[in-house]
Structure 1
Amino acid sequence: MEVSDIMRARTSRRSYTSSPIPKDSIEKLQDTIEYLNRKSGLHIQLVLDGEAAFKSFKKTYGMFSGVKHYFAMVGNSSDPLLHEKVGYYGEYLVLVATELGLGTCWVGSSYDAQNCNCEILAGEQLVCVITVGKSPESLSSRERLVLSMVKEKSKKYDELYQYDKQPPEWFWDGMKAVELAPSARNRQPVQIIYYNDVIYATTGQFQYNKIDMGIAKLHFALGAGGRFELGEHGRFYKDEETV
């Protein structure tokens, strides 16, 4: 699959079947996690026995069903780029899972972190989790309701970027990918700026916006073909390795 097709296929899934993740898919995910952890300094983990974190209706608000597996997004709590790294490398993992035919969903708070079955070393923190697993072919009524609600909050395409002169054609390839990027409550807080022949991204100061920034940067980099520096106003470099 082309990366653009994978992005279009990705949708947030909150319902999962009892079917296990195939062994070869688990191996692919574990290999990807090992690579991403080396690149980023994160401590991402695939949790395969994770039901306990999603059993509490009080924590999940009844928005998830059948969750057994998730990626625990863990990293150094003193890293100023932690949340952005979680978004950038976590979304890469989401797209790998999507290509494998698995459903995923970013989960910032509606789970029981105290019962998250992951390793958190001294000086580390659990930022969020990403559910993963086999999902039914059709969206549940709950999923359709959530999807309709978040679509209403979507920004117009031309609110996602600014430029001082006409950008190159590949800029628009990147923006099409950004439009497909998930964000918390679908607020799409990230803007891609093209100014003086330099491309950078900017957003507000809330930490969860930084996760969204990492996700949007990853999408732009894959769509346009290049690498985005981490950090507010981090620059985009065309034709460099994305991850």
Structure 2
Amino acid sequence: MEFSQSFRDVVHKRYSCRIYSEELMSETTRVELETFIVNLPQGPFKSPCRYQLTAMDGKTENPLHGLGTYGVIKQPSGFIIGATVDGEKNLEDFGYQMELLILKAADLGLGTCWLGGSFTRSTFSKRMAVRKDEILPAVVSIGRPDLEKTREQIDMSRKRFDPEKLFFSGNFTHPLTYSEVGDFAFPLEMVRLAPSAKNYQPWRVVKAGNNWHFYLQRTRSYREMVVPAITGIADLQRLDMGIAMSHFELAAREAGLTGRWQVEDPGIEKTGKLMEYSVSWVQ
């Protein structure tokens, strides 16, 4: 995965941008992003996902007509729309890949915002030509930010858990500190800074030997509120896990740390019924 700057810098540039400038993205930027979509790496679980950029170019009729966000987003230049088919880890792959697109957009100087529920699903699905065997889990608004923010402003606006609430050694009773893990402190910090629905940060990571085991700590009220069969909203906390995975892997690769994703439950005792094993990074 190639960026024009370090992965750390890209992560620190990204924030949830909801108000955009009237300035459209340049044709060069649009083409570069579309090329990135075409060459997007598969997700770790190889689920079939597809994405498209729908953006204004100032020349043709407004392609965003009818694509609503209930007033949450103001003046976007476009949207990245994605679809996937049903599968055991399809949402993790979707979150992983869409976050790669968001990070590339940040690298190009664009603002973005994840939208998992606050958009008119039917019109976006029609624009994407979603098939009967597909679902549309989320979309992303994109454009030039209305107000440019410094790295310091972005970092100060972030609200994230402290590392000891997210990362553990051996089991969930022993919080892990960055000083214990050497170069892996970088991937863990990039996971900590990753975006998530409602900023719930539902990932928990346990280091056991040379492996890193990722668990989904579900939020009770959020899970009860979001019932896909009724609302049509996807299981966004599984998307969040895919986002965390993308941050961990990209940081590890940049740091020269080896490993791969593997699903093999290590049998570590969970903290309760709302926790479930997801995936492991094994060396």
What TM-score results when the alignment is normalised by the length of structure 2? 0.72
Question: Residue 11 of structure 1: CA displacement?
Answer: 0.5
Q: Aligned residue for 2:11?
A: 7
Distance 1:36 1:83 in 2: 16
Matched, 1:107 2:123: no
Q: Aligned residue for 1:52?
A: 66
Alignment of 1:165-180 (within 5 A): 168-180=181-193
**Post-superposition CA distance 1:45-64 (Å, at most 9, x none):** 1112224222xxxx52x321
Alignment of 1:16-165 (within 5 A): 16-36=20-40, 40=46, 41-48=48-55, 49-54=63-68, 60=70, 62-76=71-85, 78-116=86-124, 117-138=127-148, 151=159, 154-164=160-170
Bigger CA radius of gyration: 2
**Post-superposition CA distance 1:49-87 (Å, at most 9, x none):** 224222xxxx52x321112411112111x2221111111
Instruction: Letter of the 1:52 partner, please give it.
Output: G
- SS where residue 164 of structure 2 aligns? helix
Distance 2:41 2:8 in 1: 24
Q: Aligned residue for 1:241?
A: none
Question: Residue 44 of structure 1: CA displacement?
Answer: 1.1
Percent of pairs with identical residues: 24
Greater CA drift, 192-201 or 166-175: 166-175
**Post-superposition CA distance 1:81-100 (Å, at most 9, x none):** 11111111111111100000
Q: Aligned residue for 1:188?
A: 201
Distance 1:83 1:228, change over 3 A: farther
Q: Aligned residue for 2:243?
A: 215
What TM-score results when the alignment is normalised by the length of structure 1? 0.82
**Post-superposition CA distance 1:98-125 (Å, at most 9, x none):** 0000000000011111121212123111
- SS where residue 174 of structure 1 aligns? helix
Distance 1:84 1:27 in 2: 27
Instruction: Letter of the 1:53 partner, please give it.
Output: L
Distance 2:120 2:15 in 1: 23
Matched, 1:229 2:261: yes
Distance 2:280 2:128 in 1: 34
Question: What is the aligned residue count?
Answer: 223
Greater CA drift, 102-111 or 43-52: 43-52
- SS where residue 43 of structure 1 aligns? strand
Unaligned runs of 5+ in 2: 56-62, 171-175, 224-234, 264-276
Question: RMSD across aligned C-alpha pairs, in angstroms?
Answer: 2.4
- Point out 4+ residue stretches in structure 1 off by more than 4 angstroms: 37-40
Question: Residue 160 of structure 1: CA displacement?
Answer: 1.3
Q: Do 2:25 and 2:77's aligned partners in 1 also have CA atoms closer than 8 Å?
A: no
Instruction: Letter of the 2:49 partner, please give it.
Output: L
Greater CA drift, 170-179 or 95-104: 170-179
Larger proportion of helix: 1
Greater CA drift, 211-220 or 113-122: 113-122
